[in-house]
């Protein structure tokens, strides 16, 4: 028996292809055992499998090359954008979020995160940072993210990925993010996810909301901030965050890159 699944590859947090964070969206129903295999074959940071269930509503499954995620940011925005302009309600295992799509991009709501202070020492050593202002574990939409705030430049970090994975694992987190304030409206962010098969993620929408709120609390940054991420891996991303409790929003531009079929 042969199987044929139509797919799109889009680049999220960019207004042009071959930049931003790439995403594969598989448009046809896929049997459960095949989903992870396709995500491994594609080998992008995430691959999604949406199923439209009603007018303006869909269920979504999100996979990295090695595991399924309860929620993720750029897959949410990119999937809704592929499904078309309008107002969508996305259902995943971690959260139900609203996504508003136009021709150029998408904006999603996010549930408010909770924060727990954490010891930054191991993360500072793993990242090769001179120091940190503090660390927190943020939890939202079924994900735990280890967030490190620093005043030091982060563009030339050479992290020890085994140590980064250990820090994440020891804090029951998949994601380790380091954040530097450039000014009151701009944050420089790098995100490492080696435990999910992604050494460095170009653009992390699920972390951008918690980062924006934490930066506003800790540094007094504006409610509307731009997160710059991904330049260090050749995939610059621009992520727009509205950091307001109860009205947390994350968005960006989306560009079509490729169309095709899996023939299995």
Query: Could you give all domains of the chain from N- to C-terminal order, each with its CATH number?
Result: 4-110+251-263 (3.10.310.10), 114-245 (3.10.310.10)
**The pLDDT of residue 2:** 82
Using alpha carbons only, give the angle 15, 176, 187 rounded to the nearest 5 degrees.
Answer: 45
End-to-end CA distance of the chain: 9
- Give the mean pLDDT of 248-264: 97
Helices and strands: H and E segment counts in the chain: 5, 17
Q: Closest by alpha carbon to 3, among 38, 40, 39?
A: 38
pLDDT at 1 over 80: no
Instruction: Supply the pLDDT for residue 122.
Output: 97
- CB contact set of 158 (below 8 Å; sequence gap of 6+): 128
pLDDT of 35 reads 98
Share of the chain above pLDDT 70, in %: 100
| pTM (2 d.p.) | 0.97
pLDDT at 99 over 80: yes
d(CA 76, CA 95): 11
The catalytic residue positions are 46
How does pLDDT run across 32-85, given as a tens digit for each residue? Answer: 999 999 999 999 999 999 999 999 999 999 999 999 999 999 999 999 999 999
pLDDT at 261 (0 to 100) = 97
Q: According to the model, what pLDDT value does residue 187 have?
A: 98
3-state SS class at 94: coil
Interval 161-196: pLDDT, tens: 999 999 999 999 999 999 999 999 999 999 999 999
Q: Give the ranges where the chain is alpha helix by DSSP (H).
A: 32-42, 73-83, 121-127, 161-170, 205-219
Alpha carbons within 13 A on the beta-carbon side of 23:
33
User: What is the per-residue pLDDT for 242?
Assistant: 98
* Distances, alpha carbon 8 to alpha carbons 50, 113, 254, 260, in Å: 12, 31, 12, 6
């Amino acid at each position: 028996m042969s199987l044929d699944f139509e797919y799109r590859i889009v680049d999220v947090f960019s207004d042009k292809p071959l930049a931003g964070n790439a995403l594969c969206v598989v448009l046809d129903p896929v049997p459960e055992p095949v989903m992870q295999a396709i995500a491994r074959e594609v080998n992008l940071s995430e691959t999604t499998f949406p199923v439209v269930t009603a007018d303006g509503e869909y269920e979504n499954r999100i996979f990295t090359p090695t595991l399924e995620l309860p929620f993720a940011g750029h897959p949410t925005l990119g999937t809704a954008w592929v499904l078309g302009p309008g107002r969508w309600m996305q259902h995943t295992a971690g959260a139900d979020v609203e996504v508003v799509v136009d021709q150029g991009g998408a904006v999603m709501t996010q549930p408010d995160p909770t924060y727990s202070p954490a010891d930054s020492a191991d993360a500072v050593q793993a990242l090769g940072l001179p120091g940190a202002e503090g660390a927190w574990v943020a939890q939202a939409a079924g994900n735990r993210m280890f967030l490190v705030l620093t005043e030091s430049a982060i563009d030339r970090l050479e992290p020890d990925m085994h140590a980064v994975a250990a820090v994440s694992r020891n804090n029951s987190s998949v994601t380790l993010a380091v954040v530097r304030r450039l000014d009151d409206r701009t944050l420089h962010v790098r995100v490492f996810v080696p435990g999910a098969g992604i050494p460095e993620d170009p653009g992390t929408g699920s972390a951008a909301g918690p980062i924006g709120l934490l930066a506003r609390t800790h540094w007094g940054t504006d409610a509307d901030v731009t997160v710059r991420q991904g330049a260090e891996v050749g995939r610059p991303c621009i992520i727009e965050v509205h950091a307001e409790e109860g009205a947390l929003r994350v968005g960006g531009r989306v560009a079509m890159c490729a169309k095709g079929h899996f023939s299995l």
